[in-house]
Each structure stands twice: as structure tokens, then as C-alpha cells.
Amino acid sequence: MAEATVTRVTAADGDALAVHVTGEGAPLLCVPGGPGRASAYLEDLGGLAASRTLLRIDMRGTGLSPLPEDRSSLSFPRLADDVEDVRAAQGLEQVDLLGHSAGCLVSMVYAIRHPERLSRLVLVTPSARGFGEVTDDIASIRASRSNEPWYGEVAALEAELAQIPEERRGRMDAGLRPYYYSRWDERAQEHAARTDGQMSLRAMAAFAPTPDELVGLDLPRGLQGLHVPTLIVVGRYDGLTGVRAGHLVADAIPSAHVAELDEAGHFPWVDAPEAFRAAVLSFLEAG
């Protein structure tokens, strides 16, 4: 992957944002997930940088973007304002926007607020939070890995974690990472091993509003009026957010369609870079 150039953007409230610019071609603004993860984990999105200029935002409090004094500005509805500040700073009248995982929530809020600024929207492995229940879907995907050599140990840890309150788990969830990739090979393990060093625990903790606030946002209703062409990419082996989540989100967006990648998990540019790149480029370059 070519070395990225870091551009600094000053948000409307005066806080600083780091934007990593790499590649060539039309710009693609990229919103990472985690939540609270530095954008480095997106890498070059499976080679997309060969055809597009990737603008990877380190959302406030992550990567090279400092932690703001106002912790409330780390919530995902507020982070959508930073996306707009980056777009404006780059001098882009309209932009193609890609969000991954938790970054899809930021991207959807941005799309609802600024549809006129979007050419196309790509949502990669979104969660179903605010859209419906997918617990059984995720359980089925995880159970389908029972023939893998790591499955017994990971399933036992999953059962143990189910008995522990989430706030007391610490980093024990790291043991579940084989569920998130289609193959737990050297490439996946190397990508997963960088996770902890890329995470901001404060940004992660402040990302999501309270359940009542999330209900108040009513993203499905807000998206019903969105007519920006939208691609939702899901991976058959995504044992983190599942496959059905992508379809629930697509049901809320009139112009959306879903691309299911058979050999991918939650990070499709890692598991199936060629298929991921082909699906996204085909969509972005459609007339």
C-alpha cells in the first residue's frame, strides 16, 4: 500500500481532524468503524486506491485526530458533522461516501442530513442497530464454522462471555475475532492483531447514544426519503454483524441494493479483495 499523505482539517467547533489521502482517481471519502478505530485498518480497501483517491478520516479522538474536550462530540450523530467539514475542506461539491461497520451509522446520518452532497453511498457490513433483530442470524453464521480447528476454543469463550456483564469483559472479546473473518489465516490474524493498537477506548465508549436517543433518531424513517444510489456490501461469513443486517438497512433505503460476497466476513477487503473491489468499483462507475 502506498504511503498516505496526512491532511489536517479544522472542524466547525475548532477541533482537529486527520485525513489520510492515498491513491488516484475520483475521491472516495471513507468513514471507519470500530467504533473508535483509527482509519489505518481500512488499508487501501482491497486495492481501491489504484482507481480512487481514498480520503480516510481518523474520526475525532482516534488515530491522528486528538481527543476533544467535549466528549459529547464523540457520539455518532455528531460525527456526521465532521464528515461534512472534511467534504467542504476538500472543496468537493459532491462526494462518493463509504462507511464501514459502525461508520455506516455516521454515514447514514450524514446522508439524511446532506443528500445533495452525495453522489453515491457505500455501506460495508453495517450493523442492524436501530433496524431490527439479527441475533439468530449471527448465531447461525458462527455455528457454520464448527468444522474449523479454532472453533471449539472460541465457542467456549463465547459461552463464558455470555455470563459476564459487557462492562467487565475488558479485552476478552478479542478471542472472538476468528468469527469476523472468512478464513482465520495469516492475513486475517495479522489484520486482527493490529486492532487493539488502533482503538480509542474513550471514542468507542462515547460513540453510541443512549437506547432512547437511538430510538429518537429513527434512522429507518429518515432513510425512506433518501434517493442517493446506495450499495450495501455484506459477507457470508460475517460473524460480527451478520448478513441479514445489510438487508434490513437496504429495506429502509429506496435506492439501495445488496451485494453478498460468498468468501468474505466483516472485513471483505481482507478476505476477498478482488470480489470486494469489483463490486464497489462496478457500483461507483455505473452510469
Q: What is the average pLDDT value for the chain, to the nearest integer?
A: 94
Long-range CB pairs of 250-256, under 8 A, 24+ apart, other chains included: 251/131, 251/220, 252/131, 252/219, 252/220, 252/223, 252/224, 253/223, 253/224, 253/226, 254/224, 254/226, 254/227, 255/226, 255/227, 255/228, 255/229, 255/230, 256/230, 256/231, 256/232
Given this model, what pLDDT does residue 167 score?
66
Q: Which long-range contacts (CB under 8 A, 24 or more apart) does 269-272 make?
A: 269/42, 269/43, 269/45, 269/46, 269/48, 270/43, 270/46, 270/181, 270/187, 270/188, 270/191, 271/181, 271/182, 271/183, 271/188, 271/235, 271/237, 272/46, 272/182, 272/235
Domain annotation covers residue 163: no
Triad 116, 119, 125: Cα angle to 5°: 110
Taking residues 31-47, what's their average pLDDT? 97
Query: What is the rounded average pLDDT of the residues 100-125?
Result: 97
Beta strand 118-124 with 95-100 is parallel
Amino acid at 193: A
| 209-226: pLDDT as tens digits | 776 677 678 899 999 999
- pLDDT tens for 3-29 read 789 999 999 999 999 999 999 999 999
Let me know if residue 140 belongs to a domain. Answer: yes
CATH of the domain at 102: 3.40.50.1820
**Which pLDDT does position 171 carry in this prediction?**
73
Helix axes 76-89, 103-113, angle to 10 degrees: 70
**pLDDT, mean of residues 44-51:** 97
Query: In this structure, what is the dihedral angle of CA atoms 105, 107, 110, 114, given to the nearest 10 degrees?
Result: -140
Residue 155 within any structural domain of the chain: no
Q: What is the pLDDT of residues 254-284, one digit of tens each?
A: 999 999 999 999 999 999 999 999 999 999 9
Find the range with the poorest average confidence among 105-119, 125-139, 147-161, 169-183. Answer: 169-183
In a domain, 60, yes or no: yes
Give the number of domains in the chain.
Answer: 1
Asked if residue 77 belongs to a domain, the reply is: yes
**Residue 287: band (very low, low, confident or very high) from pLDDT cuts 50, 70, 90:** low
Looking at the domain assignment, is residue 150 inside a domain? no
Residue 167 placed within a domain: no
Percent of the chain with pLDDT over 70: 97
Mean pLDDT, rounded, for 194-200:
96
More confident residue, 168 or 278: 278
User: In terms of residue numbers, what domain contains 11?
Assistant: 5-145+180-284
Task: Give the pLDDT band (50/70/90) at residue 187.
Answer: very high
Residue 162 belongs to a domain? no
